[in-house]
């Protein structure tokens, strides 16, 4: 553990591209933090290899080994809390967490969702945007609450929908995810960002419903 650096625990289930965005942001100084542990519920998640390559400790906690969501989440909490993290980052963690887990980390638990919430919570967001004829899509970093994809938004990045299919749109959105997620974590870890009731506050001011709004490729705010 690096002295004085805020500690993160990152939860993944798959490729870990957003985990890599955090590793890169820490490496180039955009995020003053240390990833203490990466946890996956799948032993074959490629993100575990990303973590190992960066010298980060990993753990696999398979949800299938536990008789209930509550039992699985209890083991997650026990493992996470050994590292006393300042924030817990969901980076493609494909499990619905119990209210007990969410409340345990309330205000310190962040997620990124590939839509402009409150539009399209849940899965298949890009295809749903295309089916609806939307001219914009994007991604939202938000605090996690017991409501699925329903916590207060912190920052959204918008991309134009062109002659896209679901895969090409997902790729455009993912570029922006990698930019805005470490930014939101930096705000939280520096004390600039907080959750109060149903609102996200940045520098003491409540953010609008969609959070800070950015366009694709727009310079990130300080």
The pLDDT value given to residue 4: 85
- Can you tell me the mean pLDDT for 103-109? 98
pLDDT tens, 118-145?
999 999 999 999 999 999 999 999 999 9
Evaluate if residue 1 carries a pLDDT over 70: no
% the chain with pLDDT above 90: 97
Rounded to an integer, what is the distance from CA 20 to the centroid of its chain? 12
CA distances from 96 to 39, 92, 102, 149 (A): 15, 11, 10, 10
Q: Which is more confidently placed, 6 or 3?
A: 6
Terminal Cα distance for the chain, rounded: 27
% the chain with pLDDT above 70: 99
Catalytically annotated residues: 113
Evaluate if residue 3 carries a pLDDT over 70: no
pLDDT tens, 29-75?
999 999 999 999 999 999 999 999 999 999 999 999 999 999 999 99
CA distances from 19 to 46, 83, 99, 157, 212 (A): 11, 18, 24, 18, 22
- How confident is residue 107, by pLDDT bands cut at 50, 70 and 90? very high
Residue 168: other Cβ atoms inside 10 A: 13
Q: Where in the chain is the domain with CATH 3.40.50.170?
A: 1-105, 116-217
Fold of the domain built from segment(s) 1-105: Rossmann fold (3.40.50)
To the question of domain 116-217 being in CATH 3.40.50.170, the answer is yes
Give the pairing of strands 34-40 and 7-12: parallel
- How confident is residue 9, by pLDDT bands cut at 50, 70 and 90? very high
The dihedral sign for the CA sequence 3, 24, 90, 92: negative
- Can you tell me the mean pLDDT for 148-172? 97
- How confident is residue 222, by pLDDT bands cut at 50, 70 and 90? confident
Average pLDDT, the chain: 97
DSSP assignments along the chain, one per residue: --TT--EEEEEESS--HHHHHHHHHHHTTSS--EEEEEEES-TT-HHHHHHHHTT--EEE--GGGSSSHHHHHHHHHHHHHTT--SEEEESS--SPPPHHHHHHTTTTEEEEESS-TTSS-SS-HHHHHHHTT-SEEEEEEEE--SSTT-SPEEEEEEEE--S--HHHHHHHHHHHHHHHHHHHHHHHHTTSEEEETTEEEETTEEPPTT-EEEETTPPPP-
Q: Is 104 within 8 Å of 144 (Cβ atoms)?
A: no
- Can you tell me the mean pLDDT for 85-98? 97
The structure's pTM equals 0.96
């Amino acid at each position: 553990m690096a002295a004085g650096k805020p500690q993160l625990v990152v939860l993944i289930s798959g490729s870990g591209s957003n985990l890599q965005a955090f590793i890169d942001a820490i490496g180039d100084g955009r995020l003053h933090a240390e990833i203490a542990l990466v946890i996956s519920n799948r032993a074959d998640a490629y993100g575990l290899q990303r973590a190992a390559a960066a010298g980060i400790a990993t753990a696999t906690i398979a949800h299938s080994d536990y008789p209930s969501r509550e039992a699985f989440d209890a083991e997650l909490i026990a493992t996470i809390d050994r590292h006393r993290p300042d924030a817990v980052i969901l980076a493609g963690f494909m499990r619905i967490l119990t209210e007990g887990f969410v409340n345990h980390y309330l205000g310190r638990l962040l997620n990124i969702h590939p839509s402009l919430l409150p539009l399209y919570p849940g899965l298949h967001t890009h295809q749903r945007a295309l089916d609806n004829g939307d001219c914009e899509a994007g991604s939202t970093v938000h605090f996690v609450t017991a409501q699925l994809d329903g916590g207060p938004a912190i920052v959204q990045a918008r991309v134009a929908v062109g002659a896209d299919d679901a895969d090409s749109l997902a790729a455009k959105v993912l570029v922006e995810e990698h930019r805005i997620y470490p930014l939101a974590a930096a705000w939280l870890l520096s004390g600039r960002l907080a959750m109060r009731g149903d609102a996200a506050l940045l520098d003491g001011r409540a953010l609008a419903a969609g959070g800070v709004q950015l366009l694709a490729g727009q310079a990130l705010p300080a």
